[in-house]
Amino acid sequence: MEVADYDKHAYEPFAVTVDLAVLTLRAGALHVLLVERGQEPYAGHLALPGGFVQPAESAETAARRELAEETGLFDVSGLHLEQLRTYSEPDRDPRMRVVSVAFAALLPDAPEPHGGSDAADARWVPYSAARPLAFDHDRILADAHERVGAKLEYSCLATAFCPAEFTLGELQQVYETVWGTTLDRPNFRRKVLATPGFVEQVPGAARLTGGRGKPAALYRAGPATALHPPLLRPSREGRPA
């Protein structure tokens, strides 16, 4: 079949890429993985990592491949990768028509990327210092942040930011950092423990959080994926007067 006949429409080829908003927590601050562009346009600017989708792979597969290439990680199979949305404005790349499928990825720890061939200069940048980015990546990054913040409310996604075993204080830090708020510690604890399957206590040991204070019990992620009822962000649009 001739492609031009397809469903009575003209067939127009597009370049399809993936863009990755890879988020992690380092030293209590949200960081995003960025690469420095070496070519025009936006040479010297920071941009989200990404690349072309290959002929035989899906956008999800391409996203995992690019993630492995740019971070040097090899266990990309287990981590959380979420399709954000697709950006297709005709002028978003000045050179040609590029449709980009954006993903958000959440990493627990933050190894400094020892770039593969691809990303000699990929590095973690604090979220607050990430702008301005090349192309429409500012918007993609903002959308990723908003999506992750929203998903924390009604899913167990927060554990994706934590190592295999973590304390409730660390889990709370995830919420506080992504939401940019502070939470009441006893209330947070009560809420998390009251949600069946969110976290499970590791029987044996307790960990010293790195320094002072009473050692905290260790937990690992439970089998649940959704939070019922949700853990809502404070403030936003306030209560009815």
Which partner, DNA, its own copies, none, binds residue 204 by CB below 5 to 8 Å per kind? none
Q: Does 236 bind its own copies (CB under 8 A)?
A: yes
Q: Does 54 bind its own copies (CB under 8 A)?
A: yes
Q: Does 72 bind its own copies (CB under 8 A)?
A: no
Q: State the binding string over 165-204 for its own copies (x if CB under 8 A, else -).
A: -----------------------------xxx--------
Q: Residues near 152 by Cβ (< 8 Å), separated by ≥ 6?
A: 158, 174, 175, 178, 179, 231
Q: Check whether the bond before 132 is cis (ω within 30° of 0).
A: yes
Between residues 52 and 164, which has the closer beta carbon with respect to its own copies? Answer: 52
Q: Does 4 bind its own copies (CB under 8 A)?
A: no
- Measured CA to CA in angstroms, residue 47 lies from 97, 127, 156 at distances of 18, 13, 29
Q: Does 226 bind DNA (CB under 7 A)?
A: no
Cβ atoms of 206 and 122 within 8 Å: the answer is: no
Between residues 58 and 201, which has the closer beta carbon with respect to DNA? Answer: 201
Beta bridge pairs of residue 124: 33
- State in angstroms the smallest separation of the CB of 100 from its own copies: 10
- State in angstroms the smallest separation of the CB of 83 from its own copies: 5
Q: Does 95 bind its own copies (CB under 8 A)?
A: yes
Measured distance CA(60)–CA(77) in Å, rounded: 11
Cβ atoms of 68 and 22 within 8 Å: the answer is: no
How many other β-carbons are positioned within 10 Å of the β-carbon of residue 9? 9
Measured distance CA(198)–CA(73) in Å, rounded: 27
- State in angstroms the smallest separation of the CB of 207 from its own copies: 27
Q: Does 236 bind DNA (CB under 7 A)?
A: no
Interacting stretch for DNA, rule CB under 7 A, among 39-47, 61-69, 122-130, 203-211?
A: 203-211
| Torsion angle defined by CA atoms of residues 187, 193, 199 and 201, in that order, rounded to the nearest 10 degrees | 110
Could you list the residues that contact DNA (CB under 7 A)?
167-169, 184-187, 189-191, 194, 206, 208-209, 211-217, 229, 231-232, 234, 239-240
